[in-house]
Amino acid sequence: MNSVLIAIILVPVIEIYLFIKIGSQIGALTTITLIFVTALLGIMYARYEGLNTLKSGFSQLIKNELPAYEIISGAAIAFAALLLIIPGFATDIIGFLIIFPFTRKLIFRNLSNKFQIKKKIDENFIDGEYEDIDKKDDKKL
């Protein structure tokens, strides 16, 4: 099965399970309040981190450098904000992990190490230059 399809099925199941377990411990009204509070706090912090990332990206552009980390970080913050808007405890935990700069850098480092392509040098490869010669410029020896 496709991993996206599995995630679409498992995420609501996990969230419902956590709603039932946490709701039975702290009460239904407290659980609902906690979901709204985490969503609001998460969105406010996502806005703060997004503006910081935007400022950092502009400073990289002023230095004539490519703001690659800031672009990826901005996309991750937007994804984290989406996870924080979705009601649930598991998505909130993942969203908060992505939104905090320290854990976001750890996640990026682990992902970049996982997907980094190692360059292999072909021993049979000869580097050289060539020049196209027109037929009329071609001198026969």
pLDDT tens per residue across span 79-132:
999 999 989 999 999 999 999 989 988 988 888 777 766 555 556 667 777 777
Tell whether 56 is covered by a domain. yes
* Pick from 97, 95, 87, 83: nearest CA to 19: 87
Count CB-CB contacts under 10 A for residue 17: 12
Q: In angstroms, rounded to a whole number, what is the distance separating the alpha carbons of residues 59 and 56?
A: 5
Taking residues 35-53, what's their average pLDDT? 92
Tell whether 62 is covered by a domain. yes
Number of domains the chain contains:
1
Tell whether 71 is covered by a domain. yes
Could you list the residue range(s) of the whole structural domain that residue 44 is in? 35-115
Tell whether 49 is covered by a domain. yes
Tell whether 6 is covered by a domain. no
Q: What is the pLDDT of residue 97?
A: 92
Tell whether 11 is covered by a domain. no
Structure pTM? 0.73
